[in-house]
Structure 1
Amino acid sequence: MRTRTRALGALGALTVAAVGAAAPAGAATASAARDHPATLRVATFNTSLNRSAPGELVADLASGTDRQARAVAAIIRTTAPDVVLLNEFDHDDAGEAVDLFRQRYLEADDAADGSPAVDYPYAYAAPVNTGVPSGHDLNHDGAVGGPDDAWGFGAFPGQYGMVVLSRYPIAEDEVRTFQHFRWRDMPGALLPDDPATSQPADWYAPEVLDELPLSSKSHWDVPVEVGSTTVHVLAAHPTPPTFDGAEDRNGRRNHDEIRFWADYVAGEREGAYIYDDAGRPGGLARGERFVVVGDYNADPLDGDSTDGAIDQLLDSPRLRDPGPTSRGAVEAAATQRGANVTHRGDAALDTADFADTPGPGNLRVDYVLPSRNLPVRDAGVFWPMADEPGSELTGQYPFPSSDHRLVWADLHVPGLR
């Protein structure tokens, strides 16, 4: 299954229930009410709806009462994005999990928190590299098999997958996927060195590099038709830059997975080397409107990512950074302390609540980065303070929903009324 699209006809305007007092632009609390209704709200959310075996997510969602899924859905219902990328949502070829989540959690009118139902008649999902056996000893532990020897870390094909949900039609015939683009085909790729040798880029044998994809999950260009305007949703979920050794294979791959989108949107010269899974060459044409979304596992100043990894996007002249913030993130860093005390970045920008001692602390890793020709009207992170409505949906470890927070941006799209 490459797409799961369910056309339900024209949609009316969705109403958004404001929870708590409205926050100033870029400083969202539990509320995500729209000050600019004629906008496109785009969001990304690492939902942590991954399970340990194939079929488990479908089984958990089937009843409509899974507590984690209900909390995740309540966050989406409260913020009501028009387009949302869900990371760490296990993929199944039949699309059952996507349909169950939409029908029994997002569209259901019996939410315990009273949040209004949201309807996403369009969805895109496709296979990912996580859990796909490589047949090689990728981690050099002397054995072949297991999650670390898959093309992307995972216990089974589709674990940690992703899905795009949309209120607006998806141009299915124009979707481009890059699941199989080979890492070595990127000019100047940061292929890892083997610390035991003196040869560069020799951690992986030539026969491995003949197959090794760049993307640990996939990269998708999903065009969404917003009225008469096409907005390209550029979705990905690069590997965490950790869980490796001195060769830094994951850190280097994370860097280049991020670089891929920077080159894709930069122009014809920078993106000339790119080819998609259908064999079509090149990057995104200049003048197109797009939004880069996803959990990129890279903070600009803190954490373990390769220096400058996320700056490849943040500093791109083709993109703008809305700088979404929350007061809940500031409160969490101050109360949890640990690694947060030594962070150089602004805690208000954090989007993930990671372990503090030991651990990297809370980081900014989830992004909604629109093109320069999509003006930003507002942006925020759904991270309420402990005494605000909605905090029961985020909480602290063990989290009722996810260790990541939903990040959203309201964008002006020409002709949208």
Structure 2
Amino acid sequence: MVGTTIEWFDFFIYAICAGLVFASQYFAALGEDALLLSFATIGISFFFRPVGAIIAGHLGDRIGRRAMLILTLLLMGVSTVLIGLVPTTASIGVAAPIILVLLRILQGLSAGGEWGGAALLAVEHAPADRRGLYGAFPQIGVPIGLLLANGVLALVAGLTTAEQFLAWGWRIPFLASVVLIAVGMFIRTRVSESPVFEEVRQTRAQSSMPIVPLFRNHWPLVIAGALMFAANNAVGYMTTGGYVQSYATRTLHLDRSTVLIAVMISAVGWLVSTLAGGWLSDRYGRVRVYQVGFVIQLAWMFPFFALLNTADLGLMILALLLFSVGLGLTYGPQAAFYSEMYPTRVRYSGAAISYALGAVLGGAFAPTIAEALQTGTGTVYSVAVYLAAMTLIGLVTTVFVKERRGVPLSDEVARTQ
């Protein structure tokens, strides 16, 4: 959980700053398209997530989960600190946005490999009847990372003037990541390898090329996992990708610090609902909890934007809190569900690639699409239609996925589709 929190803190401060800072400091020459391109740089990194997932999945299924977690943490941390040192376009010209995008790509590679290892290490250590709850702990690293990212940026924004924040204040969270790297490395180097993977290693049953049997025998599961996560990720990236923060400050003219604090409060709600989702999936099944979460997500989509448009802080917090309920129920069971989908020899590859592809299909350009829809139609409700459609895709997909709660994780017999 701590390592995943650090990973996503690093990932999210970029996404939030894309809406608040980078458009004016790195892409201002593009005029009205600056914000769209700034959001697009969030999406570009997503195309490198599957690459990171394939590399980390291959090595994770070959040499172990723990080694990959250490590697991905280092890659994310170093690239984040370097982002905080990139001069603006006013200083070095076109080289500035190019360097920024290259470092964001490194973040994407790390994020693609991180989740699978964290999820498997938690779930493969868990008792069979508590995998959902154990697996929810790396999941809550996301809302905690969002909470910390918004909290630190809100603190910096509150202690600096608007000019100071844009000039240098935004860099502080990126540079402070060096401390978090040290904490994460201290913890991850002391975590034991997954007992399920150790069993496979001792019998020399690892696959020499895990991706081949994965796509030969389990490709329907890879697609189903990707579609379910896409439905969750597109909606989640309204806050984690910075769209809500940008919309509230630029269109509704709310104070930057106020908006960041509202998102922090919603992150606490997301944390609680994610833990609840994992726990409930141990009692009622992964598929059932997913379906309830998607229905809630769908039902709240239009009321969410209606309350947001009031520009009232209390109603905005209420909207975000209830928005987080469906997100948590479709995110909490994910680590356990995806771990139970695949046999050990291809589990890291399968879980990581499903996750990475879902991120590309869902979150990659969700803020960019949302901004384009809002600008093109003149109403934020067009964004609600887009998110409702994504949610429906996830809900329909769950109908075709088998419940796998409690299956033996050490069983190397391929799961039936």
**TM-score normalised by the chain length of structure 2:** 0.27
**TM-score normalised by the chain length of structure 1:** 0.27
Structure having the larger proportion of residues in strand: 1
Structure having the larger proportion of residues in helix: 2
Q: Which has the higher contact order (CA 8 A, sep 6+)?
A: 2
